[in-house]
Amino acid sequence: MRVLALDYGSARCGCALSDPTGVLATPIEPVLRPATRRGLARLRELAVERGVERVVVGLPLSLSGQDSAQTAETRAFAGALERELRVPVELYDERFTTRLAERTGGEASEDSRAAAHLLEDWLAAELAKASSAHADPRSPEPAA
């Protein structure tokens, strides 16, 4: 499943895309002013062009896990994006992704590198969920 991750900021939105197998996360060009009509249209184009099946938006929680000043704006953006796209939009904890992006460096924008870290975390969590579902101890063991 191809997933688009977004590190939302009102001026610039970092973007990262997974490969079709949902294993690799690659930073791509950020979208400027993503909450505007033009920005939302660009994100819609990007989702269609790349065959995106889900969008994950980083949720900026405080270090204690509580809502921050930016959280309400990000929730509103995710809602607008979900109305604009024909794919599910999910919020996901983005704590520490910007710090990781600062440390890793690279040619992509820092915002898009942060989105790639967000996407890597989300993909790993999805893989862990799938693995634990297959390892349910209540399910009968296969006959040998």
**What pLDDT, on the 0 to 100 scale, is given for residue 10?**
92
Which is nearest to 55 in space by CA: 83, 96, 95?
Answer: 83
**What pLDDT, on the 0 to 100 scale, is given for residue 144?**
47
**What pLDDT, on the 0 to 100 scale, is given for residue 105?**
67
**What pLDDT, on the 0 to 100 scale, is given for residue 73?**
94
**What pLDDT, on the 0 to 100 scale, is given for residue 135?**
65
* Secondary structure E strands in 1-144: 3-7, 12-18, 25-32, 54-59, 89-93
Mean pLDDT by 10 residues, the chain (144 residues): 95 96 94 97 96 96 81 95 95 78 76 92 90 65 50
Distance separating alpha carbons of residues 23 and 120, to the nearest angstrom: 8
Provide the whole-model pTM.
Answer: 0.85
Distance separating alpha carbons of residues 64 and 133, to the nearest angstrom: 29
**What pLDDT, on the 0 to 100 scale, is given for residue 81?**
96
**What pLDDT, on the 0 to 100 scale, is given for residue 67?**
87
**What pLDDT, on the 0 to 100 scale, is given for residue 53?**
96
The amino acid that residue 118 corresponds to is: L
